[in-house]
Amino acid sequence: MLRTIFFYALFFPTLVLGLLLVTALSLITPSGRPAERVARSWGKFVLWITGATIRTDTSALDPDQDYVFLCNHQSQMDIPVLYAALDNHLFGFLAKDTLFRIPILGTGMRALGCIPVSRGNNLESMKSLRTALRQVAAGRSLVIFPEGTRNNELGPFKGGGITLALAGGKPIAPVVITGTGSLLPKGGLRLHRAEITVTALPPISIRGRYASRDRNALTRDLWAMMHTKLSEN
C-alpha cells in the first residue's frame, strides 16, 4: 500500500509537468525529438517509482528504421513502458478521441504525435487514418494496440489497426509486453510486484508480401506470432 501511495503522489504531478513541457517544446522545435526525450525520461521515471523490474529485448529492430508497432495491451502502464523501452524511435500512439478532450492531456498527446481515433464515427475514423498515414510518411513511427482494449490474454485484433498498418507501407514490428497486467490490473488502482518484459519480434516487411486484400491473412500471421511469444512467458 505504501508503494501505491508513493506512486500516485509522484505520478500525477510529473505527468502534468511533463505534458506542459512537451507542449512547450513542440512549439519551439516542431521535429518532436526534444518532446520525445521528455516522454522517454518520464516513462523510465514512472517505472522506477512502481518498483517493477523490466527486461527489454529490441535487438530485432533497426534504430534507423521507422515502423508501425503493433503491441498487445494489458494495462495503462503499457504506455510509459513503451516510452522507456522503444527509446531509439520517435513515435506516436493511436488513442481514443475522448482522451484528447481532457485539458493538458489532449494538448500534450498531440504534441507527442498521438492521433485521436473515434470508434463510432466512420468519417472521423477516416480523417484519423489519413492523419496517421501522413505521420508515418513523414518519418515518425506509430504504435497501435490492435486489440482495441486491455486484455490479460491476447484478444482478437480489430480490423482498423491492421488496415492502417498495411496502408502505411512501413515494416510492421510486433511488440509483446508481459507483466504490466500484474503490475496494475485492468480496473484496479493498487500496484503489485511485477517483472515486466518487452520483446520486439522480427519486423514484417509487407511490400511484395501482403496487399490490401490480404488483411485477414496478415491479421492471422501477426496474432499467431504474438500469441506464441506470450505463451512462452
Please report, rounded to a whole number, the percentage of residues in the chain having pLDDT higher than 70: 94
Phi, psi of 228, rounded to the nearest 5 degrees? -60, -45
pLDDT digits (tens, 9 = 90+) for 75-92: 999 999 999 999 889 898
Amino acid at site 207 = R
| pLDDT value at residue 95 | 85
Give the pLDDT band of residue 2 (cuts 50, 70, 90): confident
| Comparison of pLDDT for 100 and 162, the residue scoring more | 100
* Predicted TM-score of the model (pTM): 0.90
Flag the least confident range among 67-76, 107-116, 176-185, 202-211.
202-211
Alpha-carbon separation of residue 43 from 32, 141, 159 (angstroms): 16, 18, 29
Does the pLDDT of residue 122 top 70, yes or no?
no
Q: Per mean pLDDT, which range of 17-21, 55-59, 155-159, 178-182 is the poorest?
A: 155-159
161 within 8 A of 218, measured Cβ to Cβ: no
Question: Is the pLDDT score of 127 beyond 80?
Answer: no
Dist CA 25 CA 110 (whole Å): 12
User: CA-CA distances (angstroms) from residue 149 to 61, 73, 116, 146, 193?
Assistant: 25, 7, 15, 8, 23
The pLDDT score that the predictor gives to residue 124 is 66
Distance CA 16, CA 97 (A): 19
* pLDDT classification of 147: cutoffs 50, 70, 90: confident
pLDDT, residue 131, reads 79
Determine the average pLDDT of the residues in 93-105: 89
- Average pLDDT estimate for 121-148: 78
pLDDT at 186 over 90: no
CA distance 41 to 36: 9
CA distance 79 to 197: 13
Return d(Cα 87, Cα 67) in angstroms, integer.
13
Q: Please give the Cα distance from 165 to 159 (Å, whole number).
A: 10
Please tell me whether residue 5 adopts helix, strand or coil conformation.
Answer: helix
Q: Which of 125-134, 156-165, 217-226 has the highest mean pLDDT?
A: 217-226
Does pLDDT of 121 surpass 70?
Answer: no
Residue 206 one-letter amino acid: I
Banded pLDDT at 55 (limits 50, 70, 90): very high
The whole-number average pLDDT for the span 154-158 is: 89
Separation between Cα atoms, residue 65 and residue 170, nearest integer Å: 9
Q: Can you give the pLDDT at residue 216?
A: 85
Q: Would you say 110 and 94 are in contact if contact means Cβ atoms under 8 Å apart?
A: no
Query: DSSP state, 204?
Result: B
Residue 224 pLDDT grade (very low, low, confident, very high; cuts 50, 70, 90): very high
Ordered structural domains, the chain, with CATH: 2-232 (3.40.1130.10)
Q: Look up cell 494496440; give the residue.
A: 145
Inter-residue contact 118 to 99 (CB < 8 Å): no
